[in-house]
């Protein structure tokens, strides 16, 4: 049975296809055995935020008020929560533009990155970061082969 996902788009300009985003989580969960079993069971919360909103969370919970791309909060499986992934659509757009990358793929990568953190992956040390990057590449390939990278765009 697919996990429950709470999806919140708090970015005033971001357009997204809710079903397509939920499909990303469902496909990742279905392939969890390739990613150390995936996140724990329970509801997963996914929030799309602005840079200022994510920087505020970064300051409140990690004592670092700077802009970041992804923040992941571990859940409490005993209470039915797998965790929360908060991503910045602004940072994804700026990075994609600066590096001539596709915005939708970049923002999807941020979702994958947060999901992998909930699965136990870390990227604070070089060896762990290489392992995280390899898992991200496998996950993005899985989504790409399934034609499951959602289209994100900006409202006019």
Q: 148 with 23: CB under 8 angstroms?
A: yes
Beta carbons within 10 angstroms of residue 57's beta carbon? 18
Is 58 assigned to a binding site?
A: no
Is 123 assigned to a binding site?
A: yes
Single out the residue of 68, 122, 128 nearest to residue 95, CA to CA.
Answer: 68
Is 117 assigned to a binding site?
A: yes
Single out the residue of 135, 137, 140 nearest to residue 24, CA to CA.
Answer: 140
Beta carbons within 10 angstroms of residue 5's beta carbon? 18
Instruction: State which H helix or E strand residue 30 sits in.
Output: helix 18-30
The tally of CA atoms less than 13 A away on the side-chain side of residue 3 is 28
Which residues make up each annotated binding site? 113, 117, 123
Which residues make up each annotated binding site for Zn(2+)? 113, 117, 123
């Amino acid at each position: 049975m697919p996990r429950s996902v709470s999806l919140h788009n708090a970015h005033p300009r971001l357009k997204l296809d809710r079903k397509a985003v939920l499909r990303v989580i469902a496909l990742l969960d279905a392939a969890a055995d390739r990613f150390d079993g995936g996140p724990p069971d329970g509801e997963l919360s996914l929030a799309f935020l602005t840079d200022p909103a994510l920087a505020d969370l970064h300051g409140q919970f990690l004592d670092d008020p700077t802009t970041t791309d992804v923040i992941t909060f571990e859940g409490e499986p005993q209470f039915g929560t797998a965790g929360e992934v908060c991503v910045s659509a602004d940072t994804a757009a700026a990075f994609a533009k600066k590096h001539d990358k596709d915005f939708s793929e970049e923002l999807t990568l941020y979702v994958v990155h947060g999901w992998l953190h909930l699965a136990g992956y870390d990227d604070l040390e070089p060896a762990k970061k290489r392992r995280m990057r390899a898992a991200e590449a496998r996950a993005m390939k899985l989504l790409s082969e399934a034609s499951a990278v959602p289209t994100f765009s900006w409202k006019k």
